[in-house]
Copies of this chain bind each other. A is one copy, B any other.
Amino acid sequence: MGRLFDARLGANESAFGPSPRAVAAMQAAAADAWKYGDPTNHDLKTALAAHHGVTPAHITVGEGIDGLLGTLVRLLAEPGASVVTSDGAYPTFNYHVAGFGASLTKVPYRDDCEDLPALISAARDSGARLIYFANPDNPMGTWARAADIEAALDTLPSGCLLCLDEAYVEFAPSDAVPQIAADDPRVIRMRTFSKAHGMAGARVGYAIGAPGLITSFDKVRNHFGVSRVAQAGALAALGDADWLDHVRAATAEARARIAALAAPHGLVALPSATNFVTLDCGRDEAYAKAILAQLVARGIFVRMPFVAPQSRCIRVSAGRPADLDAFARVLPEAIAAAQSGA
């Protein structure tokens, strides 16, 4: 539209920003950017291993979860292979599957949640080598209980890997985070510095899994793909637990405010374990699309699920007070315009 948005509430970025320590580390690294970064990501992997109580051999670092998913799909989803995901879940996973030529089975959400038993059942039926399962989920913000995930692992077909995308896990209640041994060959967990750590623009994520699987990443990944700046920032971010607490608290406040702002207009906030709120607009996709278009036309960048029935909703990222002030200012008009078909 040729103008900047008044509020970026569409990409689930953390408007609260990175830790000041991460910013300082990235700025120092920028001056040293003539040096290649460490292709083994040694220092970051070592710190991540200590943080998670695993060894560096359990961790691979990549260019965000997008990059890691690309490598994982490449390793497992050759033409003829079968892969399972939820219908309406992360499209970049589907993009990689299409790119590498495997066939993709999509399982419906159940009650706005990814349905792990149904995913596993579909994997069994299709002989799938890989299941994509995000917990908490994007774009709905919902989550599965840890105990249910842990129990479901025992029903995974042999030779089928569960990719557990935990991009939003730092925002989730503790009973949404399953206990899975890092050596468990049935699961690979994906984490990122893009969300709670506020470093979406730096491109750094990591996967935790059994060393045999993790080693296979080294056979095909772009070894210099994670920049020196990103490595330095991630390392500093990981060491700043106070900042993470601050972001979590600010995010929870923002979620509550989004829900409160939306309710008078008949938009119902789904429970969220993420840094966004998915608002059930109460009608069909056309109505949700109309609200979204009216918000975007008024300078508020939001997005929405792209598959029915989830597409009756819009998705609003947890912004700063000023971002939500802007959202609050235009929401009544946007709703009125959507209702009048303007």
Contact = CB atoms under 8 A, between A and B. Distances in A.
Interface of A: 8, 11, 13-18, 22-23, 26-27, 29-37, 63-64, 66-67, 70, 99, 194, 198-203, 219-220, 222-230, 233
Contacts of A64: 222, 224-225
Chain A contact surface mostly: loop
B35 A8 contact: yes
Given A63-B63, A224-B203, A31 B17 contact: yes
A29 B29 CA distance: 12
Of A15, A17, A35, A70, most buried by chain B (CB within 10 Å of CB) is A35
A34 B11 contact: no
Nearest to A199: B33
A219 B34 contact: no
A30 B229 contact: yes
Copies of this protein, total? 2
A27 B32 CA distance: 11
A201 B34 contact: yes
Contacts of A233: 30, 33
B16 A34 contact: yes
A26 B219 contact: no
A32 B16 CA distance: 10
Contacts of A203: 37, 224-227
Contacts of A18: 30, 33-34
B34 A15 contact: yes
Given A201-B227, A222-B70, A227-B229, A14 B34 contact: yes
Contact of A227 (B22, B27, B32, B227): B227
A275 to B, nearest CB: 11
Contact of A33 (B26, B99, B224): B26
